[in-house]
């Protein structure tokens, strides 16, 4: 297994776009990045494979066909263990840093307490990432260099889609371990759809995604244990015709969780996702995305 190591990122992300955007949707894979900078690997107390435990490996490839359906796909190049764009921009743990964080940093969120802030302290299975404290300047550099350009591009894609179609569906694409961290927790469903309990996406859209997945034999649950993170919450506003839906895919469906390699079922899952969203994206007429009622 190879681990790409680069001292600098040529680009913080990859943006794949159709020749012409023909559907009112944007797809986003914020945790599939797999370029691990040399300086990061040197500062980490974990080996490269352990760092990849936080990575949504191959999720960008699973959704690559969305471009053929007429939607753009944004995917991070940097790994989640290095910087997590599914957080507030300054959700930082003061215990991780040598120096004082800026006063506007959010140091008290539950995600920070759990070690999973904008610059994570742990990987997905709870292991500490760093040997020593980081300079505050390093956190701010990553935010300026990677986080802000990523979200600026995502905002531009959403705004452009809104101008063209009058509405947008943002699909935030993730993967999850097949087993939970708690001992005795049963195997997870095949898909978890997160719409912040109906506040980030119109229920009729979530209903249709769930129906199409179930038709293909998948087990689907909503909002538990994943209701959606910062991206879903921040960009989803159904009353303004902006809908955001998080989709978590059970990793055991498409890859070997021990070595993170694609399994023989990868292509089947990718084809099924293409089928699901080809149905969904053609079923986003104006009556599914109602405009707010104008005051009389």
Helices (H) and strands (E) in the chain, counts: 9, 11
Percent of the chain predicted with pLDDT > 70: 90
Question: Alpha-carbon distance 279 to 212, whole Å?
Answer: 8
What DSSP element (H or E) covers 215? helix 203-215
pLDDT given at position 8: 59
pLDDT at 185: 59
Taking only the tens place, the pLDDT of each residue in 206-243 is 999 999 999 999 999 999 999 999 999 999 999 999 99
Six token digits for residue 154: 């995502």
> Is the per-residue pLDDT at 4 higher than 70?
no
Amino acid 284: pLDDT: 77
DSSP string covering 230-285: HHHHHH-BGGGTEEEEEEEEEGGGTEETTTTEEPTTHHHHHHHHHHHHHHHHHT--
Binned at pLDDT 50, 70 and 90, residue 3 comes out as very low
Q: Is the pLDDT of residue 15 over 80?
A: yes
Give, rounded to a whole angstrom, the gap between the first and last alpha carbons of the chain.
63
Contact 98, 54 (CB under 8 A): no
List of domains in the chain: 13-73+162-288 (3.40.630.40)
- pLDDT of 140 reads 94
H helices of 72-123, in order, are 110-113
For the segment 151-184, what is each residue's pLDDT rounded down to a tens digit?
A: 999 999 999 999 999 999 999 999 999 986 555 5
Closest CA to 284 of 194, 169, 199, 182: 169
């Amino acid at each position: 297994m190879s681990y790409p190591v680069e001292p600098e990122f040529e680009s913080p992300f990859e943006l794949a776009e159709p020749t012409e955007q023909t559907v009112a949707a944007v797809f986003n894979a914020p945790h599939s990045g797999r370029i691990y900078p040399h300086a990061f690997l040197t500062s980490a107390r974990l080996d490269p494979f352990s760092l990849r435990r936080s990575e949504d490996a191959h999720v960008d490839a699973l959704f690559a066909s969305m471009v053929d359906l007429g939607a753009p796909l944004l995917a991070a190049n940097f790994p989640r263990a290095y910087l997590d764009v599914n957080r507030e921009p300054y959700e930082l743990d003061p215990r991780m840093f040598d120096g004082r964080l800026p006063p506007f940093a959010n140091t008290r969120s539950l995600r920070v307490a759990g070690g999973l802030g904008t610059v994570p302290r742990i990987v997905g299975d709870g292991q500490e990432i760093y040997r020593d404290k980081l300079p505050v300047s390093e956190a701010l550099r990553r935010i300026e260099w990677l986080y802000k350009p990523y979200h600026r591009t995502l905002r531009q894609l959403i705004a452009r889609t809104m101008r063209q179609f009058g509405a947008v569906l943002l699909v935030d694409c993730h993967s999850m371990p097949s087993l939970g961290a708690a001992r005795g927790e049963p195997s997870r469903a095949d898909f978890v759809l997160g719409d912040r309990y109906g506040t980030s996406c119109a229920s009729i859209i979530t209903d249709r995604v769930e129906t199409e997945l179930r038709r293909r034999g998948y087990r689907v649950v909503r909002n538990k244990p994943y209701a959606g993170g910062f991206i879903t919450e921040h960009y989803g506003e159904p009353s303004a015709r902006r809908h955001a839906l998080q989709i978590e895919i059970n990793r055991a469906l498409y890859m070997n969780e021990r070595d993170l390699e694609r399994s023989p079922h990868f292509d089947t899952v990718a084809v099924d996702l293409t089928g699901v969203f080809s149905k969904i994206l053609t079923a986003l007429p104006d009556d599914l995305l109602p405009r707010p009622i104008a005051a009389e």
